[in-house]
Copies of this chain bind each other. A is one copy, B any other.
Amino acid sequence: MTATHDVADLGAVQAGAERIAWASGQMPVLAQVTARFADARPLAGVKVAACLHVTAETAALVRTLLAAGAQVALCSANPLATQDDVAAALVVQDGVQVRARHGESFADYERHIVETAAFGPQGGKSWVTIDDGADLLIAAHETGEPGIRGLVGGTEETTTGLLRLRRLQEQQGLPCPVLAVNEARTERALNDRHGTGQSALDGIMRATNVLLAGQTLVVLGYGWAGQGIAERARGAGAVVTICEVDPLRALEARMAGYEVMPALEAAVRGDLFITVTGSRKVLGAEHFAVMKDGALLANAGHFDVEIDLDDLNAAAAGRVRQVRPLVHEYEMADGRRLNLLARGRVVNLAAAEGHPASVMDVSFALQALSLEALVADPNAFTPGVQAVPDAIDREVGRLKLAALGVKIDVSSASQDSYRRSWSSR
C-alpha cells in the first residue's frame, strides 16, 4: 500500500497557508461558486483525482471541491511548478492526498500520476478526473477496466491535453465524457490569450531581464497562446515575426500586422525565439546553425519537446554553462552562443509563477461547475471530448464581469423578438 501523500516539507504549512489565502482573495469568481457549493454539497460522496500544477490557486480549487463534499487526491502536472509549501498546507490542513515535490524526478512524477489515478476506483464510489495535459486520464485508461471503474467523467485544462485525448478517442475510444474546459469561451478570453500571453513574457523577463523593445522576437505557433504572446510582445515594443504551418493561422497573423515567414528565415533574424506550437522539434539543428550570437530560446508549449534539446546538445558538444539561474549558454562550434531558458520547459511556469490568480479563477470556476454537471446527470453526456455546456460558460462570464465591476445591458423584448424573426425590420 502506498503512502497517502508525498510532499517535500510538511513543516512549510504556514507559508503555504498564507500563499493560499492571498491567491483565494484574488479569485472572486471561484469564491461565489464555493459559497453555493458549501450549501448545496453537489459533490457529496464523490472522489476527485486531479493532476494540476500544485500552486496556491489550485489549492483554492481543491478547497472548493472539499466544500462541495468531495474527497480529493492531487498530483503535479509539472514538477517545476509545484509550490512545496502549498502542498504541505493541503496535506496538513485539508487532509488532501497530495503527491508532488518541486523538482521531482521523472520517475517520481510518473509514479505520482499512477498512484493518483488509482485513488479513484478505490472504495467503489463515483469519481471524476481533472487533467492538465491528460496524463491522469490516460494513465487510468491504460490500466484497463479496473482502473476506470466508477469513473463518471473528467475535465481537461490544456490544448495539448485535448489533442492527446482526441487522438486516443479516434483510435481507441474514451472511457467517459471529458469536458474541454480549455475551449470554453470564458477560458479563451482569459487563459490562453491573456494568461499565457502575459506570463510567458513575464517568465522570459525574469529569466533574462532583457528589454523587449527593439528586439526581433519570433513566435513559433499562432494558436491562442501564440496570439497572446505576439500581442503582448508587440505591446512591449518588440518587432514580432510569426512562423506557422497552418495557412489559415498564418493568414490571420499577417492580417494582424505581423511578419510571417518560414522558421529558417526567421532563425537568421531573431533575437528571441518562443515556441508554442503543441508540436515537436520546431527549432532544431538547421535553425541553431544560422542563429545570431546571443539568441535567446524559450518554450511556452506544454511539453519540452518543441526546442530539440538533443540537437542543441549535439551542436554544443559539451560547451554548456549556466549563466543565470534559469539560463544555460550553449556554445556552437563557430563560437556563437545560444541561450536556453528554463531548460526548454514551459517558461511561464518554470521561470515565473504561471497564470495569474485571476486567470485561474475563471478556469477553476469552469472546472468546478463542469464536475458538478458531470456528477449531477452523467447520462446527459456521451463518452468522448465535448464542449463545456454553454450555460456554464455564460454563468462564469457573468460572475467574472461582476467581479470586475462591469455592468452591461440586457437584450430588450423587442430585440429578442427581432432576433427570432427573419424579417429585416
B424/A164 in contact, CB under 8 A: yes
Q: Does A387 contact B (CB under 8 A)?
A: no
User: Which of A84-92, A124-132, A147-155, A258-266 forms contacts with chain B?
Assistant: A258-266
Q: Does A102 contact B (CB under 8 A)?
A: no
Contact A256:B281 (CB < 8 A) given known A214-B194, A394-B247:
no
Contact A400:B185 (CB < 8 A) given known A210-B358, A243-B408, A407-B261:
no
- Chain B residues closer than 8 Å to A40, beta-carbon distance: none
Interface positions of A from 396 to 421, Cβ below 8 Å from B:
397-398, 400-401, 404-412, 414-415, 418-421
- Chain B residues closer than 8 Å to A260, beta-carbon distance: 401, 406, 408
- Chain B residues closer than 8 Å to A232, beta-carbon distance: 235-237
Query: Please, which residue of chain B has its CB at the minimum distance from the CB of A238?
Result: B257
Contact A397:B356 (CB < 8 A) given known A243-B409, A257-B234, A422-B134:
no
Q: Does A69 contact B (CB under 8 A)?
A: no
A397/B263 in contact, CB under 8 A: no
Which of B25, B245, B263 contacts A294 (CB under 8 A)? B25
Q: Does A177 contact B (CB under 8 A)?
A: no
Query: Please, what's the 1-or-0 string for A7-49, where 1 marks a CB less than 8 Å from any CB in chain B?
Result: 0000000000011011001100000000000000000000000
Q: Does A313 contact B (CB under 8 A)?
A: no
Assembly CA distance A124 to B374 (angstroms): 54
User: Which of A60-68, A201-209, A364-372, A376-384 forms contacts with chain B?
Assistant: A201-209
Q: Does A116 contact B (CB under 8 A)?
A: no
Q: In whole Å, how far is A157's beta carbon from the nearest beta carbon of chain B?
A: 15
Q: In whole Å, how far is A153's beta carbon from the nearest beta carbon of chain B?
A: 18
Q: How many copies does the complex hold?
A: 4
Assembly CA distance A89 to B47 (angstroms): 56
B163/A247 in contact, CB under 8 A: no
Contact A281:B211 (CB < 8 A) given known A393-B248, A401-B251:
no
Assembly CA distance A179 to B114 (angstroms): 48
Query: Please, which residue of chain B has its CB at the minimum distance from the CB of A210?
Result: B356
- Chain B residues closer than 8 Å to A209, beta-carbon distance: 352-353, 356-357
Assembly CA distance A17 to B275 (angstroms): 32
Assembly CA distance A397 to B251 (angstroms): 7
- Chain B residues closer than 8 Å to A274, beta-carbon distance: none
B213/A167 in contact, CB under 8 A: no
A211/B239 in contact, CB under 8 A: no
Which of B259, B263, B424 contacts A409 (CB under 8 A)? B263
In addition to A167-B422, A171-B422, 18 A-B residue pairs with Cβ atoms within 8 Å of each other are A25-B294, A26-B294, A160-B424, A186-B248, A186-B251, A194-B237, A198-B211, A209-B352, A214-B255, A232-B237, A247-B397, A251-B401, A254-B406, A262-B407, A263-B409, A279-B418, A281-B412, A305-B418
Q: Can you pick out 16 interface pairs between chain A and chain B where the beta carbons lie within 8 Å of each other?
A: A164-B422, A167-B421, A210-B357, A213-B255, A239-B259, A240-B257, A245-B408, A247-B397, A250-B408, A251-B400, A251-B401, A260-B401, A262-B408, A262-B409, A279-B419, A305-B425
Which 7 pairs from chain A and chain B are nearest by CB?
Answer: A235-B235, A211-B356, A247-B397, A194-B213, A164-B422, A168-B422, A245-B411
